[in-house]
Amino acid sequence: MEEKKLDLNSIIGFVLIFGILIWIMYQNQPSEKEIAAEKARKELVAKQEAQAKADKAKTAALPAKAATPGDTVQLAQLQKTLGGFAYSATLPSAKESYTTIENEKLKLKIANKGGYIVEATLKEFEKFKKGSGQLVELIKNNNSNLNLQLLTTDNRTLNSKDLYFEPTLEKIGVDQVLSMRLKAGANEFLEYKYILKPNDYLVGFDIRSQGLSRVLNSAKPLDLQWDLKTYRNEKSISYENRYAEIYYEHEDGKINYAGLGSHEEETIEKVSFIAYKQHFFTSILVTEKPFANAKLESTNLVNDEKIDTVFTKQFKSNIPLAFSNGEIDYKMQWYFGPADYKVLKSYDKNFQKIIPLGWGIFGWINKLIFVPLFGFLSSTIGLSLGIAIIIFTIIIKLAMSPITYKSFLSQAKMKVLRPDITELGEKYKKDPMKKQQETMKLYNKAGVNPMAGCIPALIQLPFMYASFQFFPAAFELRQKGFLWADDLSSFDSVAKLPFNIPLYGDHISLFPILAAIAIFFYMKMTSGDQQMAAPQQEGMPDMAKMMKIMIYVSPLMMLIFFNSYGAGLSLYNFISNLITIGIMFVIKNYIVDSEKIHAQIQENKQREPKKPSKFQQRLQEVMEQQEAAKKAQNKKK
């Protein structure tokens, strides 16, 4: 029989499919409007920085050398600019000085001026790649700011970041306790208290005031401003930036995030914690007494990864701190550490929910199956991470093999019925409704469920999507090599291109190529059965020809989208497709016997057909009603 040639409708269909794929690839590209908005944002940021420098210059009124507390002339001069907090500028601590506290995991440097953390170093992790010698520094070189806007009783607005705190460091048991006090008198002060325990990422942080009722206006809350420009810590800044976001917890325990655009602002109420999450590290401010509200702001700082190479996002929070009986009293904590699901979960504060493992069933698959299974393989057994991924993939695919078998068995049954379905199509060519009715009868008589092949495939889809969420979030993969990949959490570049290909990049990753080859052979292997199992419907695109196109489009999409993804995900997809090919080969050649299936179906045809299900009965009734309505309409004509 001569093969049917492409007709005009098929060509149009293929062009539309290809056009849709191209549109999907380009839909996330920035528009001219967005580019212009980003340019305006940068100009605004520059203007704000210039204003900040001007504000800083105003603090020149502070003495270069501290006066003595008894110097009444000097104190009177300082009161003109600092009001009740002039006393703090007369203390010996009123100078550019720092106090360092550290444990096995963290090193924190706190400044006298402002009383806040100016350096936060993670002592166990390195930037960019293992062996770089550069430790991950979440805070350094003024990329972070913590400020309280102080409204005084004499109508002044002072910023705590510009004032000098007096440090007192002591050891209480095994804890290091650093008290930073902004003084308005010997026993009148605003205090930041830092408490660092051994071998911990969590730092106690209390803000309280004492005896400041005559100094501070308690009619309005004090605005706590927390800003952070997140440093790049990974190999690919664009990939790292994709997973940088502000997360927050409502009082009821619900976790959310503040937008995904180039610039987002959001005001929220009843906040338990705010997390400035980077890809693999995070800074979290958690409070014992929920904040009444908070204004959050996130700005993307990466527009061209060749130029913007230092910072990823600018995060800002404005949090009103309410007075209680004329004083401020908030017990809080900072978390500076890895965005590792297991570590975050160990604190029992819902921190682990900032890891984007997917919503609904996808999140449950990751939390209940992928995270514990991969954690066991990567830590308990002590395997290399690449081998752990391979064994992990084998376990998942073997567990899914009964579903794969069901899907292939359904395809085999549909393939046997294909001649009968084709015959019905020819017989009722001019009556599509009758053809559908007779086809349903044939399925029922032969004991074949046409949906049996779709359901197993749908069951596998959540596991596939869950893997797309799991591997980019797997902290265990960071800076762990396998074969030619030096970091499974980033792309495995084997060649650098002298030019940039849109959507693809300026490098060639090998694992996506292997995964694309594997998916090509898998689709080539199964396309024939799928084409035979899927009967051609009148008015629908030629499924056989569409399958032929998808054999080439799917690997191409794999190459494009996975070239800049983490190598761990590409390795998983490569091994997954290899295993699926092996399982299908075994099922096709050693388990499913086409002749037995054919004989069974023929035997079923001779038997009394099974009573149709309620769904099939309802479907049959609807089709009959439509057929009757159509005949009635034809009679009227």
What angle is formed at CA 410 by the lines to CA 404 and CA 413, rounded to 5 degrees? 140
pLDDT digit string (tens) for 84-97?
A: 788 888 888 888 89
State the pLDDT at residue 543: 52
Q: Where in the chain is the domain with CATH 2.70.98.90?
A: 96-356
Reduced to 3 states (helix: H, G, I; strand: E, B; else coil), residue 633 is helix
Q: Please check whether residue 421 is in contact with residue 535, taking contact to mean a CB–CB distance below 8 angstroms.
A: yes
Does 44 or 320 have the greater pLDDT score? 320
Q: Hey, which of 39-48, 199-208, 302-311, 433-442 has the most confident mean pLDDT?
A: 199-208
pLDDT of residue 630: 64
Task: Give pLDDT, residue 256.
Answer: 85
Mean pLDDT, all residues of the chain: 79
- Other beta carbons less than 10 A from residue 529's beta carbon: 17
Q: What is the DSSP letter of 68?
A: P
- Element spanning 246, H or E: strand 245-250
Residue 264 reports pLDDT greater than 60? yes
CA dist., res. 71 & res. 88, Å (int):
13
Which residue type sits at 450?
P
pLDDT at 203: 95
Specify the range with the lowest mean pLDDT, choosing from 109-123, 277-291, 577-591. 577-591
Q: Which CATH number fits domain 96-356: 3.20.20.70, 2.160.10.10, 3.50.50.60, 2.70.98.90?
A: 2.70.98.90
* pLDDT value at residue 13: 53
pLDDT at 119: 94
Question: Nearest to residue 28, comparing CAs of 491, 475, 564?
Answer: 564
Question: Coil, helix or strand for 578?
Answer: helix
Q: Give yes or no for a contact between 470 and 371, defined as CB atoms under 8 angstroms apart.
A: yes
Beta bridge partners of 181: 166, 191
Average pLDDT over residues 434-461: 66
Read off the pLDDT band of 20 (50, 70, 90): low
Q: Hey, what amino acid is at 482? A: F
Q: How confident is the model at residue 392 (pLDDT cuts 50, 70, 90)?
A: very high
Query: Which of the 8 DSSP states describes residue 451?
Result: T
- The DSSP symbol for 278 reads -
Res 593: pLDDT: 60
pLDDT at 603 over 70: no
Q: Is the pLDDT of residue 48 over 60?
A: no
The whole-number pLDDT of residue 306 equals 77
Q: What is the pLDDT of residue 519?
A: 85
Predicted confidence at residue 347, as pLDDT, reads 94
pTM of the model: 0.76
Instruction: Kindly indicate the confidence band of residue 215, based on its pLDDT and cuts at 50, 70 and 90.
Output: confident
Q: Which residue has the higher pLDDT, 113 or 260?
A: 113
Asked whether 116 and 98 are in contact (CB, 8 A), the reply is: no
Q: For the ranges 259-273, 352-366, 475-489, which has the lowest average pLDDT? A: 259-273
Average pLDDT over residues 315-322: 93
By three-state DSSP, how is residue 180 classified?
Answer: strand
CA distance 163 to 379: 48
pLDDT for the residue 331:
95
pLDDT score recorded for residue 602: 63
Checking if the pLDDT of 233 tops 80, the result is yes
Beta bridge partners of 254: none
pLDDT in tens, 124-133: 999 988 888 8
For residue 69, which of 49, 51, 45, 86 has the smallest C-alpha distance?
Answer: 86
Which residues are CB-contacts of 63 (< 8 A; sequence separation ≥ 6)? 74, 78, 89, 94
Name the least confident of 20-24, 385-389, 447-451: 20-24
Instruction: Give 545 or 10, the one with higher predicted confidence.
Output: 545
Lowest pLDDT segment from 28-32, 329-333, 353-357, 412-416: 28-32
Look-up of token digits 């308005």: 184
CB proximity list for 456: less than 8 A, separation 6 or greater: 403, 404, 406, 407, 410
Helices (H) and strands (E) in the chain, counts: 15, 19
**Least-confidence region, from 11-15, 357-361, 606-610:** 11-15
Return the pLDDT at 65. 42
pLDDT at 258 over 70: yes
Percent of the chain with pLDDT over 70: 69
pLDDT at position 389: 92
Match 């001019």 to its residue by tokens.
Answer: 430
**Least confident interval from 22-26, 474-478, 490-494:** 22-26
- Looking at residue 30, its pLDDT comes to 53
Residue 4 has what pLDDT?
Answer: 42
Which of 164-168, 202-206, 292-296, 420-424 has the least mean pLDDT?
420-424
Interval 328-377: pLDDT, tens: 999 999 999 999 999 999 999 999 999 988 888 888 999 999 999 998 88
Q: Which of 47-61, 370-384, 419-433, 513-527 has the lowest mean pLDDT?
A: 47-61
Q: Would you call 109 helix, strand, or coil by DSSP?
A: strand
Residue pLDDT, tens place only, 431-446:
666 677 667 766 666 6
Average pLDDT over residues 224-251: 90
